[in-house]
A and B are shown apart, each in its own frame.
Chain A
Amino acid sequence: MEKNNTEALNWVGKRVKRIDGPEKVTGELKYMTDYQFDNMLWGKVLRAKYPHAKIKSINTKKAEQLSGVVTVLTHQDIPGFNGFGIVIPDQPVLCSKVVRCTADAIALVAAETLEIAEQALELIEVDYELLEVISDAEKAMLPTALNLHPDGNIHSHVKIKNGEVDQAFQEADIIVENTYYSPRQMHAFIETEGGWGVMDEEGFITIRCPGQYAYRDRMQIARALAYNPERIRVISSPIGGAFGGKDEITVQIYLALLAMHTNGRPVKIHYSREESVIAGIKRHPFKVYMKTAAKKDGTLLANEVRAVADTGAYASLGGEVIALAIEHSCGPYKIPNVNLEGFCVYTNNGIAGAFRGFGVNQVCMGIETHLDMITEMLCIDPVEIRKKNVYHQGEISSLGHIVKTSVGTYKTLETAENCDLWKNREKYKADVSEPWKKRGVSLATSFHGIGMGVGLPDYGAASIELLPDGKFLVAVGCEEIGGGNGTVYAQVAAEILKCDISQIKVVQGDTSKTIDGGTVTASRSTYTGGRAVAAAAPNMLKLLTETAAEMLEVPASKVEVNPNRIAANGSCLTYQSIFDYLYQKRKQTRVEGHFFLPKEKKEIEGSGGAPHHIYGYLTHVVMVEVDTLTGETDVLRVVSIPDAGKVINPQGLEGQAEGGAVMGIGYTLFEDVLIEEGYHKTRNFTDYIIPTIRETPLIETFPVEEAEHSGPFGAKGIGEVVMIPIIPAIMSAIYDATGARIKHLPATPERVFNALKALKNENIQSAR
């Protein structure tokens, strides 16, 4: 039967309710940290007392003698490789000779109760010799600086050059040049790191711990334990929020090590918020110098960027973060002459790693603010200058490569200029809530790569199994991180299998039940996982059709796949009867689907993986109100206009857009983990303020669906770009309201107030 392309879709593109909704709203869903066992032990981690010190000795004797302590472990108890890290495993599991930040672990304890475990930590004696603390990334780069790692403090250096920058700056009509500083944001997932580990009588280890790639977590555990990974099961889903913060190993290796020493008793670790703040990775603080040149008509001519990222004591994904930042540092524009470089630098300031946006947040504020400055100097429209400079599909980007996949920026800008907030902005700005408050409206646009860059393996995989009750079990490695990818997988499967969505069960993130399909990161899980399900489903249809043909003794071409049943020659077969037939014949009831992400053939030399093959795009329009007496800024309205390709679930997409916008507000206005001389000054949610419901503005989401044909039903990705352009949009709206440019985030009341004061002084000076 020929497939009709214009056939209406039943599930894809619909506001399908989350399949995990009922168990989440009742609290029946068990997260890893919710399991309890009668014979369970509590695990605790001893952290470094100082941010940089030599370890002269570790004495655990007193702790071991404490009644109720089952085991105390140090570096000497690690059977395999004492290190972890997604790319370069330079972080010790348990430190032996030196500690490089207060997140460093030195010893592990398992005890009968949490209180005994905590008491045991206090009995472990560690003799330190203090070393100089490197707390400034630029100072760490100096040749005279004390080296934190054998290869020096510069973990990575990436470069992209294109065109003739010097000449372009000479020919330019306008040049803007500024330096931007960005904060150390905390993921602040509501579920802190935790889980449990157990080893059975045969030495099989099970680790239940929320994570963003079960197979890689298993590899890292196996490497530290010198253990056959096949004898380790990692269950990593569901996750109580991650945003990149559970991409790296959290407690998995600690749990596995302890489980080897507890005589089969399960061990649980669950960080307190205070421990999570210190031990967990953060977003890299950046210093970004940028110089941008344009012609009188607003055409961008050149861009020069030098970004320095503070990755803290260990690499994690720092090298990749700076590479992505540099790749995206010119925005979704075609700037013919660029000279871009970035450094990822070790310090003793905790550890930084993956976080939603992955470096793009820190650079988009530069290019977008520069566009607004140029706009103002030339008296041109901020939408027009962007429309003039954006690249379209098939055009050459600032990196010098042809963008072959879907590009929706232009459409997002058209939607922005036609939205109510933008069209009627003068009216809304005049409507201030108090006479001393001022309103501003601004917009910004950005983009984000989908999937891994050049040089990294990137593939999706899914399996579909026909179950005895006639339902289908869709299994995908990508974890349910909260975004609703499980519902997306069910929608894609139901669409292709022509069945009701209630016929689909989904399992995710379990090395015993799902095949390796890569990470839930890089805005890739809808695109990659969805595409893998879309590759597996036709195989299931084929299995159903061929089995039905055999059962009914008709040629397969006579079998019709109707909604929720299979028919031929006037007889109907239920899925259940097909399962029974296959089972009796001892035939396979499970199929697989595999998908390799299309990639660019050539890496830009020295770029660390650029360019990406596919990007998602987004424009934000925001309105702020600034209190000129206190410097406090409220974001009142947000319009989010994403190009995520075909939208599989509009409700899920809005959820991402709204959550991303509010996280972007927190980043721009108040979030920052303060570390002074290597010590965290931020401890908990008492002094790290994330947006509450009271900070939620009115958020509208208007997707433009620029279909990407390699994706499932034309979908791309959405998870990261949703929090990016809102950052410069807010910065610019503050300027629109008050005339103050904030280049150092977060734009706290203090910073805004001081900027307003400086502005006032300037005006007085110039009036004299």
Chain B
Amino acid sequence: MPSNRVGVLVVTGFHERLQMAGMVASVAAVSGSDVTVFLSMNALQYFVRDGDRAPPAEGSFGATMASTNVPPFRQLFEQAVSLGGAKVHPCSMAMDVLRLEPGDLVDWLAEPLGLTRFLADALEGTLVTF
């Protein structure tokens, strides 16, 4: 029987990829998958508490999307947690590099996680990377 586990590795700082990652995480979580998200590299800065900086578009689609009523990507990740029971973890290495403490991040994130632990769980199922 295939595993119901979905790992979502998010390292991008581009809007389109953050949006797609949030869509995958939220829809998979509310559809019965056990979803774990790992936020690292350029992605983590967009999950700082009270941060309102918009990520840049990677291409023309992102520029067009910015003027439409798509759900904000942070809201999609939060709904993955609140509606689907997903866990969204900040990468402990990225937190060290950016000198962030857990209290600096949005409060619906799970505890910081190392890559080894994330991969140990994620590789038992499907891993998607953005």
Q: Do A and B come from one complex?
A: no
Report which B residues bind A (CB closer than 8 A): none
